[in-house]
Copies of this chain bind each other. A is one copy, B any other.
Amino acid sequence: MNNKTSLNAIDHAVTQARNAYLSFKRWNVRQRAALMHQVADEIEALGPELITTARAETHLPEARLTGEKARTVFQWRSYADALALVLDARIDTADSMRTPPKPDLRKTSQGLGVVAVFGASNFPFAFSTAGGDTASAIAAGCAVIAKTHPGHPETSAIMAAAITEGIRKAGGPEGLFAAVASEGPEGGQYLVVHPAVKAVAFTGSFSGGKALSDLAAKRPEPIPVFAEMGSVNPVFLLPGMLENAAADVAKQYAASLTLGVGQFCTNPGLLFAPDHPSLPAFLEALRAEISGIPAAPMLHGGIAVAYHRNKTAILAHEDVSVLAEVVEQLPDSHGNPVVATTTARAFAANPGLSHEVFGPFGLVITYKHAEELLSIIQQLDGQLTATLLAKPEELEAAQALVDVLTEKCGRLLLNGFPTGVEVCYAMQHGGPFPATTDSRFTSVGPDAIKRFLRPVSYQNWPDELLPDELKNANPLGVWRTVNGILNNAAVSV
């Protein structure tokens, strides 16, 4: 696992995955769900070695990793349980009396084929080898080749073995899942252009995601790529809330900004605060909060180097001032919390100030009035999230702001912070470009399965040969739109 997989071996894995997919395709959603629960059981049963290995490879604390393991298991289980809902089964029964006669048409969804999954460094369990992309692709009925992240090869090997064992115990086809490693970009590029690969999921940097997406678009047969490429997740503090709760907001913002050494794609890197009599008190409270949070080791050396480089570039700007900076004698591998300030005018004039700094770095942008704020928001790139900190009575007047924000993000929060990404049906973890390559999909929650499904219609097909979810008797009890009406009953024809 931690050795580089040769291109020949990758080709072999893809060929095997293609055959496994064709066999897995005959499994109904209940059988697929059982296989996923078996995989979840295997991950759940992994001993302390998993956490120890991941700690050594990622420097993430034990409590965080224990929680992330539970989240990963929950993803496999909840996506399994959601299968019947995401299929969007549709039945339109025949009408032989119509002119011309109306045929019987029934539509369900099937997997796209072999999916290449590129894991992230910052979630070694939940967004990596055994993460949400793998779980949702298997849920869709696809086979998966996971390109493991070089930051945690041993962790990936343990997870890959658990998935393989779960598939084996469930009687799944050999090769339905495989993990491949590659030091440089060649292995990943080879996967993306392989003719048998039909979709790609990626979580990581803009440059990485965009490169894979461009490569996929240039194939003789272009394939869909869902790349989640991060975000600066702006937070908008309105005057009423600033006046009312400056200290609370400062405390919570500092906590969200520095959680996990700021290594989240939903890290709130920008905070817009009004030029208001309470602003100095807020800034002082934020300075005090940040100063009390120690530096900590980042995921790996490359991330720490990039953090210091990107942070320094922004701090070098003449209109940017440091508000709080934790300076300790620490190795370069650590990330130290830093908050700086600038003005809306300077921010608007310098696009570089809106770039993501992956790590515990926050930029507070002071704005003069609502119009200036609105004008700045219109310039912002697409984001995973946007957050309003406002008193309820301020919100109604902010409708224009809300309208623009929904153009810019996938998830809109009120009086909370975006770093927690709940795994549930109503989660949208995906936003307008460049946050992701396709804002029509999410990579968290059961709807993530939809990225890897395509509909197939059967016209005048015999009941006994239809996929189970389309049969008259509805043996799986799934929800179906029958002649325009949603229900989970049998169809009488």
- Could you tell me which A residues sit within 8 Å of B by CB distance? 22, 25-26, 81-82, 85, 88, 90-92, 100, 102-103, 105-107, 110, 112-113, 213-214, 217, 221-222, 224, 382, 392, 395-396, 399, 402-403, 406-407, 409-416, 420, 422, 424-428, 430, 432-434, 437-440, 442, 447, 450-451, 453-462, 465, 479, 481, 484, 486
Choose from B411, B453, B462, B465 the contact partner of A456 (Cβ within 8 Å): B411
Q: Given known contacts A420-B103, A479-B486, is B456 in contact with A410 (CB within 8 Å)?
A: yes
Chain B contacts for A450, CB-based, 8 A = 440
Are B414 and A224 in contact, with the CB atoms below 8 A? no
Choose from B25, B213, B411 the contact partner of A459 (Cβ within 8 Å): B411
CB distance from A474 to the nearest CB of B (A): 14
- Complex Cα distance A458/B426, Å? 9
For this chain, the copies found in one complex come to 2
- Complex Cα distance A457/B399, Å? 16
Chain B contacts for A420, CB-based, 8 A = 100, 103
Are A416 and B103 in contact, with the CB atoms below 8 A? yes
Which 4 pairs across A and B sit closest by C-beta, in order of nearness? A105-B426, A428-B457, A90-B425, A90-B426
Are A92 and B403 in contact, with the CB atoms below 8 A? no
Are B412 and A456 in contact, with the CB atoms below 8 A? yes
- Complex Cα distance A224/B226, Å? 12
Are B90 and A447 in contact, with the CB atoms below 8 A? yes
Are A426 and B91 in contact, with the CB atoms below 8 A? yes
Chain B contacts for A442, CB-based, 8 A = 455
Chain B contacts for A409, CB-based, 8 A = 456
Chain B contacts for A461, CB-based, 8 A = 412, 414
Are B486 and A85 in contact, with the CB atoms below 8 A? yes
Are A437 and B222 in contact, with the CB atoms below 8 A? yes
- Complex Cα distance A112/B433, Å? 12
Are B462 and A413 in contact, with the CB atoms below 8 A? no
Q: List 28 A-B contacts (CB under 8 A).
A: A82-B484, A90-B425, A90-B447, A91-B425, A92-B425, A105-B422, A105-B424, A105-B426, A105-B427, A112-B440, A113-B407, A217-B217, A221-B432, A222-B437, A402-B465, A409-B456, A411-B458, A412-B458, A412-B461, A414-B458, A414-B459, A414-B462, A416-B459, A416-B460, A426-B457, A427-B457, A428-B457, A432-B454
Chain B contacts for A432, CB-based, 8 A = 221, 454
CB distance from A299 to the nearest CB of B (A): 22
Chain B contacts for A486, CB-based, 8 A = 85, 479, 486
Chain B residue nearest to A406 (CB atoms) is B456
Chain B residue nearest to A479 (CB atoms) is B486
Chain B contacts for A425, CB-based, 8 A = 90-92, 107, 481, 484
- Complex Cα distance A440/B441, Å? 11
- Complex Cα distance A481/B427, Å? 12
CB distance from A298 to the nearest CB of B (A): 24
CB distance from A37 to the nearest CB of B (A): 16
Q: Given known contacts A459-B411, A460-B416, is B85 in contact with A440 (CB within 8 Å)?
A: no
Are B457 and A412 in contact, with the CB atoms below 8 A? yes
- Complex Cα distance A61/B409, Å? 49
Are A462 and B103 in contact, with the CB atoms below 8 A? no
Are A455 and B437 in contact, with the CB atoms below 8 A? no
- Complex Cα distance A402/B462, Å? 13
CB distance from A431 to the nearest CB of B (A): 9
Are B396 and A465 in contact, with the CB atoms below 8 A? yes
- Complex Cα distance A456/B460, Å? 37
Are A455 and B410 in contact, with the CB atoms below 8 A? yes
Chain B contacts for A439, CB-based, 8 A = 112, 454
CB distance from A216 to the nearest CB of B (A): 9
CB distance from A87 to the nearest CB of B (A): 12
Are A103 and B415 in contact, with the CB atoms below 8 A? no
Chain B residue nearest to A84 (CB atoms) is B486
Chain B residue nearest to A400 (CB atoms) is B22
Chain B contacts for A481, CB-based, 8 A = 85, 425
Chain B contacts for A447, CB-based, 8 A = 88, 90, 455
Chain B contacts for A217, CB-based, 8 A = 214, 217, 222
- Complex Cα distance A481/B82, Å? 11
Are B457 and A92 in contact, with the CB atoms below 8 A? no
